[in-house]
């Protein structure tokens, strides 16, 4: 077969033949964050009524039983997700009636094949084994489609029509005589395109250029230095500067940003350069002179920390959007880095030349200050001595040469640091996708508009953000009055703190109706507040648990299903656990689940997935967990939420 490259819309793609996921491909692995991103991307393009290119599907045509089958060798995760999405649209929403055949199969993977068959039918048989990640994707699409479409005032029909007609994919057939091993090697070694943030940097430098300003060259040098220092999100920003400049910006102990705005930043840098010139540190040599010179040049003090100790909750491109949004307070700026270049272009073009230049100078300062604040007051994931955990640390120095880390809010004994860690990690794991990290935008906005960060103010502010989201968004039954994120962050003084009581029968507390995992995680934070930590048998930290588990299973092994479906899907019977444990324990009765955790805890220490789960397993008899237990637990948990929110 000759080499072919064709563009298909989704309807054409799924009517163009059969596809197979070869055995050498990894299992389906997309989670809620990737699915959320895909849905949001499509939703963003619907109003534009233009084709949305979703990427490339590379296939290898095979003849099987006289029929052409296309092996997916690149793009299989996207292809599988689209197939699941079409199944949801047909089964749940009665759209895409043309999607009537199972055209995606898995080679030698019966569990994945079973799951795709159940997805196509719209019913997952709990008495048969299947790949749980596919079911979780099906459930996520069901929930997120309705949520995201409601937010954008779009109908499911609009989404379905756009998906099938305007979402396009490039299908590339590799020649039949291709050496696939060689092809994979080429794919893995292909070059990288210019990244969006590099385009933005060039745009900002161009805006900054002013031939009439005698200091322009030095100001552009400063911009380069700050950009490069901030760009490494895993490294504390102080390490991005040479020692003398670091001292000028952060003091001898590195812990305080000494400058107040772009003007004082430029003054400090110009003074720094003048001192270098005067001291003779700053000199130029021709290449020939360097080659002829036997002198060995060294800069021992300027050792840049190359460390994989920390991981940031966001990447650099997303950070640029946070700072842009905070500086401009423009509600049209989102946290979607697909539009990074456009947002900066629109901002610059909306200003006169002088105002555009000042915007860039202010952005340079805010970039520096924002990163310093984020390093000190926003959690990172820390990896040290074969252990990992959330950290909230400040960088300090005693001698101006070597740095060390201390708790941002004091010693471990007073627990101040731990409260902020719990709040920030609660938000972070609830919204793993960077485009939805509105909590981080709120935290940074608070920090950047505070002269001196105070523990109690910060804690109360973060708790207020959570309460607002729970009461006026995620558990708000009047969706037309949902709290907008921009109002939450930038008009917080207008928000009422007269929080409504959460009713026991709130329909948004039922399975598949819970919009965001913050509902579960905030409850765990409330329960954690009541514990004498370390004495209650729960060693708990927030992790990326995204599977909603029925403690009494929907299809139990060795027992009768609960006839009361309202109780089965009630908040009182639900908790968050990891994908892996959900797959292992999905159909087991409460007594078997409790026994599993008891054995796990005796081997590895305390390993409950949530405090709510701990209470379900340890304050109730697992052998008699029934409708009455579920109702009692449900009411107690709702009461806990109400007591905390109203206090």
pLDDT score recorded for residue 304? 44
- Report DSSP state, residue 623: G
Identify whether the C-beta of residue 394 lies closer than 8 Å to the C-beta of residue 255.
Answer: yes
Identify whether the C-beta of residue 163 lies closer than 8 Å to the C-beta of residue 85.
Answer: yes
pLDDT tens for each residue of 564-585 = 999 999 999 999 988 777 677 8
SS3 call for 105: strand
pLDDT tens for each residue of 226-260 = 999 999 999 999 999 999 999 999 999 999 999 99
Q: What is the chain's mean pLDDT, rounded?
A: 88
Whole-prediction pTM value?
0.81
Q: Is 124 left (phi over 0), alpha (psi -120 to 50) or beta?
A: beta
pLDDT score recorded for residue 301? 43
Strands (E), 403-469: 403-407
Give the model's confidence band at 186: pLDDT under 50 very low, under 70 low, under 90 confident, else very high: low
Give the model's confidence band at 214: pLDDT under 50 very low, under 70 low, under 90 confident, else very high: confident
Instruction: Round to whole Å and give the CA distance between 489 and 318.
Output: 17
- Report DSSP state, residue 470: I
Q: What are phi and psi of 171, to 5 degrees?
A: -100, 125
pLDDT tens for each residue of 110-161 = 889 999 999 999 988 877 888 888 998 999 999 889 888 888 889 999 999 9
Give the model's confidence band at 600: pLDDT under 50 very low, under 70 low, under 90 confident, else very high: confident
- Report DSSP state, residue 559: S
Q: Does residue 606 register a pLDDT over 80?
A: no
pLDDT tens for each residue of 468-478 = 999 999 999 99
Domain parsing of the chain, residue ranges: 4-188, 196-293+304-377, 501-646
Q: Does residue 189 register a pLDDT over 80?
A: no
Q: 94: buried, middle or exposed (CB in 10 Å: 19+, 13-18, 0-12)?
A: exposed
pLDDT score recorded for residue 194? 63
Give the model's confidence band at 627: pLDDT under 50 very low, under 70 low, under 90 confident, else very high: very high
């Amino acid at each position: 077969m000759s080499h072919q490259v064709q563009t298909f819309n989704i309807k054409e793609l799924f009517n163009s033949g059969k596809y197979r996921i070869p055995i050498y491909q990894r299992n389906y692995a997309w989670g809620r964050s990737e699915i959320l991103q895909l849905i949001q991307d499509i939703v963003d393009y619907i109003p534009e009524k233009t084709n949305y290119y979703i990427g490339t599907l590379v296939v290898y045509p095979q003849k099987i039983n006289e029929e052409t089958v296309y092996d997916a060798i690149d793009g299989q995760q996207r292809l599988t997700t689209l197939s699941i999405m079409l199944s949801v649209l047909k089964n749940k929403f009665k759209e895409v009636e043309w999607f009537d055949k199972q055209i995606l199969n898995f080679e030698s993977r019966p569990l994945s094949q079973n799951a795709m068959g159940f997805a196509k039918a719209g019913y997952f048989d709990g008495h048969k084994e299947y790949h749980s990640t596919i079911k979780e994707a099906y459930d996520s699409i069901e929930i997120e489609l309705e949520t995201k479409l409601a937010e954008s005032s779009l109908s499911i029909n609009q989404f379905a029509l756009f998906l099938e007609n305007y979402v396009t994919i490039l299908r590339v057939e590799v020649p039949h005589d291709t050496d696939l091993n060689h092809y994979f090697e080429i794919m893995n070694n292909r070059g990288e395109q210019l990244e969006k943030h590099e385009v933005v940097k060039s745009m900002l430098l161009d805006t900054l250029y002013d031939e009439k300003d005698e200091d322009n060259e030095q100001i552009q040098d400063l911009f380069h230095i700050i950009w490069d220092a901030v760009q490494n999100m895993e490294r504390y920003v102080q390490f991005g500067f040479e020692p003398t400049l670091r001292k000028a910006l952060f003091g001898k102990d590195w812990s305080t940003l000494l400058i107040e705005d772009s003007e004082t930043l430029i003054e400090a840098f110009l003074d720094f350069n003048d001192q270098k010139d005067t001291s003779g540190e700053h000199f130029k040599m021709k290449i020939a002179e360097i080659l002829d010179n036997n002198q060995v040049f060294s800069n021992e003090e300027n050792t840049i920390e190359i460390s994989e100790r920390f991981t940031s909750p966001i990447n650099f491109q997303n950070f640029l959007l946070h700072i842009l949004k905070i500086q401009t307070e423009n509600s049209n700026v989102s946290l979607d880095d697909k539009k990074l270049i456009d947002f900066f272009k629109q901002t610059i073009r909306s200003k006169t030349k002088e105002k555009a230049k000042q915007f860039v100078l202010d952005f340079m300062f805010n970039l520096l200050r924002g990163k310093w604040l984020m390093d000190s007051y926003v959690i990172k994931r820390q990896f040290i001595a074969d252990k990992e955990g959330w950290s909230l640390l400040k960088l300090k120095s005693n001698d101006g040469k070597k740095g060390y880390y201390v708790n941002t809010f004091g010693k471990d004994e007073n627990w101040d640091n731990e409260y902020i860690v719990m709040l920030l990690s609660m938000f972070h794991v609830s919204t793993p996708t960077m485009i939805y990290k509105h909590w981080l935008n709120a935290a940074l906005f608070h920090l950047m508009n505070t002269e001196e960060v105070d523990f109690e103010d910060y804690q109360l502010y973060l708790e207020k953000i959570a309460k607002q989201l729970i009461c006026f968004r995620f558990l708000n039954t009047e969706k037309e009055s949902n709290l907008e994120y921009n109002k939450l962050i930038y008009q917080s003084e207008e928000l009422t703190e007269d929080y409504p009581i959460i009713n026991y029968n709130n329909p948004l507390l039922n399975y598949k109706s819970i919009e965001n995992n913050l509902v579960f995680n905030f409850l765990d934070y409330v329960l954690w507040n009541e514990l004498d930590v370390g004495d209650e048998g729960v060693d708990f930290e927030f992790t990326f648990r995204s599977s909603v588990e029925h403690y009494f299973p929907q299809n139990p092994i060795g027992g009768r299903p609960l006839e009361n479906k309202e109780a089965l899907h009630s908040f009182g019977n639900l908790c968050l656990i990891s994908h892996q444990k959900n797959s292992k324990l999905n159909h087991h009765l409460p007594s078997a689940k409790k026994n599993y955790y008891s054995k796990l805890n005796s081997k590895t220490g305390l390993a409950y997935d949530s405090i709510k789960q701990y209470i379900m397993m340890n304050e109730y008899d697992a052998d008699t967990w029934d409708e009455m237990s579920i109702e009692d637990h449900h009411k107690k948990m709702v009461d806990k939420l109400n007591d905390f929110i109203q206090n």
